[in-house]
Amino acid sequence: MPLEQEEILLAAIDQNKIRNFCIIAHIDHGKSTLADRIIEMTGLLTSREMQAQVLDNMDLERERGITIKAQTVRIVYKAKDGEEYIFNLIDTPGHVDFNYEVSRSLAACDGAILVVDAAQGIEAQTLANVYLALDHDLDVMPVINKIDLPSADPERVINEIEDVIGIEAQDAPQISAKTGLNVDQVLEQIVTKIPAPKGDSKAPLQALIFDSVYDSYKGVIIFCRIKEGSVRRGTPIRMMATGAEADVVEVGYFGPGQFIPCDELSAGMVGYITASLKNVKDTRVGDTVTNALFPCAEPLPGYKKVNPMVYCGMYPADGAKYPDLRDALEKLQLNDAALQFEPETSLALGFGFRCGFLGLLHLEIIQERLEREYNLDLVTTAPSVIYKVHKTNGEVIDLTNPSNLPDASEIEYMEEPIVGAEIMVTTEYIGSIMQLCEERRGNYLGMEYMEETRALLKYELPLNEIIYDFFDALKSRSRGYASFDYEMKGYQRSELVKLDILVNREEVDALSFIVHAETAYERGRKMCEKLKEEIPRQLFEIPIQAAIGSKIIARETVKAMRKDVLAKCYGGDISRKKKLLEKQKEGKKRMRQVGNVEIPQKAFMSVLKLDDN
């Protein structure tokens, strides 16, 4: 352990010298870049040691450039007043799929740095995050970033922050997180503007879990903010919501990319606890850790169990890999309490799992990790939201798989999930965005002008109309000038029907999906067209039909043709022929035989691409 860190451990930590804060921003406004600069400037790492971005430490995160799991780091800053301060910088995820994690990360802080891009100004997620921060009574400290850009207009953005959010911004540091310009002002303001934590170290233990990870050596590592009391090795702890109990094995704090043990965590501190717990499900984000023998009177407010919003079927391309897929999902679940799965069988796809996710991004991440880290080839069915089916016998079922929809005669009515959406857009695109929302069955709630050139549109939209490609459609219809945020509102009665797809007169259960009755015909037609493109020609003619119940509503035909991959190979280069045959075999792994027709993986996702914008 470096000498400097040892000294900090030994010195009793004065609460007044601690600052717990996070950085909030709209996606891409430079949150991670600023975090890196702060870490670099406080001397924890030299820029050479810094791998691209320290805080986003999952490979996938780095590739996609987005923050998924909240990460935290403790740094020591020597301020201009000559004193040393301890900063706990809590990184918050920036995507709507992970909204609850954002909210819990904020609850662990006393203040928030609000990063706003000097060229783009306030965006939908800037507002959503600021409101969340204000809900948690955090002091919000604005910072104007990217002033090095030629299109930067910091004065306009300062006014916008004052007008729209209503917080003082005249002395907001104007920085370039990229070059490091004026980042020193940010560090000073953290000391002067973000309040020190409060809390009594002698009170019964009350700590907020804002994240937890599973480590094969240490078991579950709980990331927490100690609100009251203290905790050390040997303390018997209890999670108040899940009831799990264990003795503490180790406590410590977060070095960049590593865990550094210490003697004790006390009120006001942010750190980690390990105990002999084997599953992150025991340590739910938002739960309160207390002393099992001397519990606090009440848990901290705001805990809620996060439930998946989007479901899809995942099947191994090679049926023999089913046990491997189960093992992989179990391993991923150790680190991801929001991931759910249960076995299901499909006539078309065989044995697999119905998996539940927080949103599409979460789904994609899991899918990619299964394919990359566990080397599995997957066939994934189109995602579906959870519908509530009210049956004539009074029973209500949560439908996560469209092919399980009961017979129409047993259904009284159905409900679908609705979200409240806020869309920020420049005025010239208001018309096209409103049109998009209308097409997606949106219910217009109102519009507020931010300034002359921008407005905030409020809509209620069915979740199943936005989970697929709404974001892309929004971007393309506004040339990238619209931004968007949403939250679940509840369920609403709706005229829904199940659309079945028949390939060569056989129903393919994995292709069924649920649509609003009004759009059923159009979607059915488009789905058939799409499948016609995706399904390769075979030796015989293949009819593709869409049906509601026994009624066929659309049809396309894949004409017969012999597919000869060697046809293009003139001359006698045998190795090239072999290569082509190999390639064809690879492709086949992901094909599914339905009756005597082979359906490629891409076809199962066709429903996602029915709206060409």
Ligand X SMILES: Nc1nc2c(ncn2[C@@H]2O[C@H](COP(=O)(O)OP(=O)(O)OP(=O)(O)O)[C@@H](O)[C@H]2O)c(=O)[nH]1
Q: Would the annotation count 28 as a binding residue?
A: yes
> In whole angstroms, how close is the CB of 148 to ligand X at the nearest point?
5
Site string for ligand X, 98-137 (x = CB under 6 A): ----------------------------------------
Which one of 148, 410, 428, 495 is in contact with ligand X (CB under 6 A)?
148
DSSP secondary structure letter of residue 15: G
Quick one: 222 exposed, middle or buried, by C-beta within 10 A (0-12, 13-18, 19+)? buried
**Part of the chain binding ligand X (CB under 6 A), chosen from 29-37, 419-427, 548-556, 580-588:** 29-37
Q: 516 among the known binding-site residues?
A: no
CB nearer to ligand X: pick between 47 and 276: 47
Residue 523's nearest CA partner among 417, 581, 607 is: 607
Tell me: does residue 242 bind ligand X (CB under 6 A). no
Residue type, 467: I
Closest CA to 527 of 494, 499, 498: 499
* φ, ψ for residue 124, nearest 5 deg: -55, -45
Alpha-carbon distance 500 to 508, whole Å?
Answer: 7
Q: Is 33 annotated as a binding residue?
A: yes
- What track of x and - describes contact with ligand X for positions 174 through 203 (by CB under 6 A)? --xxx-------------------------
Kindly state whether residue 27 participates in binding ligand X, applying the rule CB under 6 A: yes
* Residue among 63 and 395 whose Cβ is closer to ligand X: 63
Q: What are residue 500's DSSP bridge partners?
A: 547
Question: What is the rounded distance in angstroms from the CA atom of residue 127 to the CA atom of residue 133?
Answer: 10
Q: Where does this chain touch ligand X (CB under 6 A) — which range of 20-28, 331-339, 423-431, 443-451?
A: 20-28
From 24-32, 390-398, 399-407, 497-505, give the range in contact with ligand X by CB under 6 A: 24-32
Q: Reduce the DSSP state of residue 413 to 3 states and report it.
A: strand
Looking at the Cβ atoms of 66 and 544, the one nearer to ligand X is: 66
Task: Say if residues 88 and 20 touch (Cβ distance below 8 Å).
Answer: yes
Structure tokens at 510: 């994995």
Q: What is the chain's percent helix, strand, coil content, to nearest 5? A: 30, 35, 35
Using CB positions, name the residue nearest to ligand X. 94
Among 18, 21, 30, 604, binds ligand X (CB under 6 A): 30
Q: Is 17 in the site for ligand X (CB under 6 A)?
A: no
25 binds ligand X (CB under 6 A): yes
230 in helix, strand or coil? strand
Choose the binding region for ligand X from 59-67, 272-280, 458-466, 604-612 (rule: CB under 6 A). Answer: 59-67
Can you tell me which of 20, 24, 32, 504 binds ligand X, judged by CB under 6 A? 32
Q: Phi-psi category of 231—alpha, beta or left, where left has phi over 0 and alpha has psi -120 to 50?
A: beta
388 touching ligand X, by CB under 6 A: no
65 vs 480 by CB, closer to ligand X: 65
Sequential DSSP letters for 246-277: EEEEEEEEEETTEEEEESEEETT-EEEEEES-
Nearer to ligand X, 177 or 207 (CB): 177
Tokens of residue 208, six digits: 């907020």
Q: Least distance in Å: CB of 105 to ligand X? A: 13
CB atoms within 10 A of CB 171: 12
Q: Please give the full DSSP string across 117-180, using - where no structure is assigned.
A: ETTT---HHHHHHHHHHHHTTPEEEEEEE-TTSTT--HHHHHHHIIIII----TT--B-BTTTT
Q: Is 476 annotated as a binding residue?
A: no
Q: In this chain, which of 29, 354, 441, 526 binds ligand X, going by CB under 6 A?
A: 29
Judged by CB under 6 A, the residue of 20, 88, 145, 400 near ligand X is 145
568 in a labelled binding site: no
Distance CA 114, CA 132 (A): 12
Residues 6 or more apart whose CB falls under 8 angstroms from that of 305 comprise 241, 284
* Contact (Cβ atoms closer than 8 angstroms) between residue 139 and residue 113: no
Q: Does 263 bind ligand X (CB under 6 A)?
A: no
CB of 433 to ligand X, least distance (A): 23
Q: Which of 5, 8, 28, 153 binds ligand X (CB under 6 A)?
A: 28
Please report whether residue 31 would count as binding ligand X according to CB under 6 A.
yes
Is 29 annotated as contributing to ligand binding? yes
- Site mask, ligand X, residues 499-518, x = CB under 6 A? --------------------
String marking each residue 60-99 x if it binds ligand X according to CB under 6 A: -----xxx--------------------------x-----
| Contact call for residue 146 and ligand X (CB under 6 A) | yes
Q: For residues 109 and 195, what is the distance between their CA atoms, to the nearest angstrom?
A: 10
Known binding residue 30? Answer is yes
105 versus 288: smaller Cβ distance to ligand X: 105
Q: How many residues sit close enough to ligand X to count as binding (CB under 6 A)?
A: 19
For ligand X, give the closer residue by CB, 94 or 286.
Answer: 94
**Residues 263/208, Cβ–Cβ less than 8 Å:** no
The response to whether 145 counts as a known ligand-binding position is yes
Tell me which residue has tokens 């729209």. 164
Give the shortest CB-567-to-ligand X separation in angstroms. Answer: 46
Residue 425 in the binding site for ligand X (CB under 6 A):
no
CA distances from 396 to 401, 413, 492 (A): 15, 10, 14
216-235 binders of ligand X (CB under 6 A): none
Listed in sequence order, the residues at least 6 apart from 530 whose beta carbon sits closer than 8 Å to its beta carbon are 603, 606, 609, 610
Known binding residues: 28-33, 145-148
Q: Which residues contact ligand X by CB under 6 A?
A: 25, 27-33, 65-67, 94, 145-146, 148-149, 176-178
Known binding residues for GTP: 28-33, 145-148
